[in-house]
A = this chain, B = another copy of it.
Amino acid sequence: MGNIVWIPILGLMGMVFALGTYLLLLKADEGNQKMREIASEIHNGAMVFLKREYQIILIFVAVVFAVISWFISVYTGFAFLLGALCSMLAGFFGMEAATRSSTRTCQGAIDGKMPLALTIAFMGGSVMGISVAAIGVVGLGLVFLFTRDPQIISGFALGASSVALFARVGGGIYTKSADVGTDLVGKIEAGIPEDDPRNPGVIADNVGDCVGDTAGMGADLFESYVGSVIAAIAIGATLANPLKWITLPLIFITIGLLASLVGIFSIHIFKRLNPQSALRYTTYVSGIVFIIGAYFASMIVGGRLNEFWAIITGLITGVLIGIESEYFTSGNPIKEIAKSSQSGAATTMITGLAVGFESTILPVVTIAIAIPIAYAFSGIYGIALTAVGMLSIIGVVMSTDSYGPIADNAGGIAQMAKLDPEVRKITDKLDALGNTTAAIGKGFAIGSAALTALALFSAYQHAVRLSSIDLTRPLPVVGLLLGALMPFVIAALTMKAVGRAAYKMVDEIRRQFKSIAGLLEGKAKPDTGRCIDIVTQGALKEMILPGLLAVILPLVVGLILGTEALGGFLAGATVCGVLLGIMMTNGGAAFDNAKKWIEEGNLGGKGTPTHAAAIVGDTVGDPFKDTTGPSMNILIKLMAIISLVFAPVFVTYSPLIMGFLRSIIK
């Protein structure tokens, strides 16, 4: 098993495949002049955001690189750098493809109806999907090739996590402030419809969809993907025959990458079916190929099937959490919310919040059942493998997920470019399906974050050589309490952040309506770039405080209260973060879909007081599902990775600091 040079090579093959898909995509017809203009504005806006974001990330990365190199080792520092660069590369690549696909999807709907539109949108999404998987395999493979030290490899995960923090939290604040700000002035004050080109914020709003749903989700899942593998490697390194167990997760994800490629390629066979079945079958194909491959890998590398079953447990857990999320965001619960809207916004809110709370039950019970099963098969290592199993076919899962925003944007372009209503019908159908895949994707993201955080939590225990995290002692209880507090703090900060950033946007749009003569009459052009700029700056500024807290507090707890208390801290943050994350993500999506269900003509349809009440729910649900909820995924993983990477520092300094504090008290 020593020679694993083929792992990064296969990963590189995946990257070539992604590049090929991208080049093929560029060849597709991008439509008329008007369509190209709009698409290029969205593309440029997204790139403005990415550029700004990456500038801040680079400063952050430089500081952390220096700290790691000084306190831990320069090798870990370089692994960290590589992790950050890989995540940025995947994000950049995915965004490039996504923003260039929308207009081509539109034109595809004109030229080849549904099958061509579906294929193009899915291909656009698959660039992100394959990039995430392939770049992960290459990066991990390379770090592993040059060093077999799990401590150094964990630096790679911290790099991925740092980028995810900015992409997910910053992106989440961006997308919702742009959305809320644009609607508040455009729809409510000026009385012009959504996606109206006279509104200076409309491009920023469309950019937000890419920034949040594509780049944010990609970085989030990339972090989970890398984190789960690294947790498995760190735990595997402590077992007998370590080389075998630290190679196995890398082999699993490489098989997963190949399986994803097969699945993605199979869309060409299924594209004439209805889109829902087509997307489902591609995922099935990948799943089956992966299961067969994982079976042989387990037998050949491990010499037994225990690890195979742990992987299968993870796959099933992922599928179940996806289905459970789908039910709570599209089944009876959304009708319940819609019906309660008949007695006003207050009852909408009460029912929607209750649905959010309720939707935590099944996923958490699913995870609680998966843990002892995986443990029975392969101990703590098995728990880490469930996370790997869940994320193994990320390539295809992420492709079906990122196809959604492409279809959504295609609809916006069809509207703005005044295309044949038939086109909009096709993109609407694709978009509606995108909402379902997005809900499944978000369930998948929080589920994988939970399992990854648990796996990293176990890896942390090994790294600081904890014999126990004992809740019969006071400091771990204090840690647990403070850790559980963290998701509430981040929730408060991110929800307020959306409000503040949105108000800056409101001021700017109002200013333009006042100062640009002829804007409302459609005679002058709005300064959309300035809106993008303002909301970009606002979002990135607002994410600094929550980001710093997530990075610094685990260090403070670990150094002052000790490694055992930090274990309690991570446990508290993980359980509370998972619960709050599921509650907000599902609750928010349920609010959204309740409103859409009314708009389909139920309970009186658009324009009724019932609809107005549902809109209030949807507006509250927006930051729930796109900002605060997903921030929980990042929070729990980032804090666990920070603790893992800084384990050597805690082991050295924490006893000194604690001893010093004790001597003061005495």
A623 close to B350 (CB less than 8 A): yes
A575 near B480: Cβ-Cβ < 8 Å: yes
**A350 CA to B349 CA in the complex, in Å?**
11
Q: Is the interface of A mostly helix, strand, loop or mixed?
A: helix
Please give the distance in Å from A232's CB to the nearest CB on chain B.
16
CB-based contact A372/B481 at 8 Å: no
Kindly provide the distance from the CB of A469 to the nearest chain B CB, expressed in whole angstroms: 4
State whether A567 touches B471 (Cβ < 8 A).
yes
Number of copies: 2
Residues A616 and B349 in contact, CB atoms below 8 Å apart: yes
The distance from the CB of A570 to the nearest CB of chain B, in whole angstroms, is 9
The answer to whether A357 and B488 touch (CB under 8 A), given A567-B471, A575-B576, is yes
Residues of B within 8 A of A495 (CB): 350-351, 353-354, 357
Chain A 358-401 interface 0/1 with B at a Cβ cutoff of 8 Å (1 = within)? 10110011011001100110001001000000000000000000
Q: A375 touching B474 by the CB < 8 A rule?
A: yes
Q: Inside 8 A of A572's CB, which chain B residues have their CB?
A: 575
User: Which residues between 570 and 594 of chain A lie within 8 Å of chain B, taking CB atoms?
Assistant: 571-572, 575-576, 578-579, 583
A602 at the interface (CB under 8 A from B): no
Query: Shortest distance in angstroms between A181's beta carbon and chain B's nearest beta carbon?
Result: 11
Contact A368 B482 (CB under 8 A): yes
A491 to B491, CA, bound (A): 18
Interface pair A485/B616, CB less than 8 Å apart = no
Which of chain B's residues have a CB closer than 8 A to the CB of A498?
350
Residue A226 interfacial (CB < 8 Å): no
Partner of A372, one of B474, B576, B579, B615: B474
Residue count of chain A within 8 Å CB distance of chain B: 70
Give bound CA distance, A495 to B587, whole Å. Answer: 14
Stretch at the interface among A90-98, A316-324, A337-345, A534-542: A337-345
Q: Does residue A454 face the partner (Cβ distance < 8 Å to B)?
A: yes
In the bound complex, what is the Cα–Cα distance between A475 and B380 (angstroms)?
11
Asked if A347 is at the interface (CB within 8 A of a chain B CB), the reply is yes
**Would you call A470 an interface residue if the criterion is a C-beta within 8 Å of the partner chain's C-beta atoms?**
yes
Of all chain B residues, the one with the shortest Cβ separation from A466 is: B472
Q: Does A293 contact B (CB under 8 A)?
A: no
Residues of chain B contacted by A492 (CB below 8 angstroms)? 354-355, 357-358, 361
Per the bound structure, the CA–CA distance linking A480 and B579 in Å amounts to 12
Residues in B whose Cβ lies below 8 Å from that of A454: 477
Contact of A616 among B346, B354, B665 (CB under 8 A): B346
- Residues in chain B near residue A367, CB distance under 8 A: 481
A488 touches B583 (CB 8 A): yes
Q: How far is the CA of A495 from the CA of B583 in the complex (A)?
A: 14
Contact residues in B for A469 (Cβ distance below 8 Å): 470-472
Q: Does A416 contact B (CB under 8 A)?
A: no
Partner of A485, one of B349, B351, B360: B360
Closest to A470 in B: B468
Q: A489 on the interface (CB 8 Å rule)?
A: yes
Chain B: minimal CB distance from A341 (Å): 12
Q: Which residue of B lies closest to A474 (CB)?
A: B375
CA A364 – CA B344 in complex, angstroms?
A: 35
**Inter-chain contacts of A482 with B (CB < 8 A):** 364-365, 368
Known contacts A376-B665, A499-B340, A567-B471; is A478 also within 8 Å of B360 by CB? Answer: no
- Residues of B near A346 (CB, < 8 A) are 615-616, 619-620
Q: Given the known inter-chain contacts A340-B499, A361-B489, A368-B478, please indicate yes or no for A568 contacting B471, CB distance below 8 A.
A: yes
By a beta-carbon cutoff of 8 Å, the part of chain A in contact with chain B is: 184, 340, 343-347, 349-351, 353-355, 357-358, 360-361, 364-365, 367-368, 371-372, 375-376, 380, 383, 454, 458, 461, 466-472, 474-478, 480-482, 484-485, 488-489, 491-492, 495-496, 498-499, 567-568, 571-572, 575-576, 578-579, 583, 615-616, 619-620, 623, 665
* 12 A-B contacts (beta carbon < 8 Å): A340-B499, A358-B489, A367-B481, A368-B481, A371-B474, A371-B478, A468-B472, A469-B471, A469-B472, A477-B571, A481-B578, A488-B583
Counting from the closest, the 3 A-B pairs by CB-CB distance are A346-B619, A357-B492, A358-B492
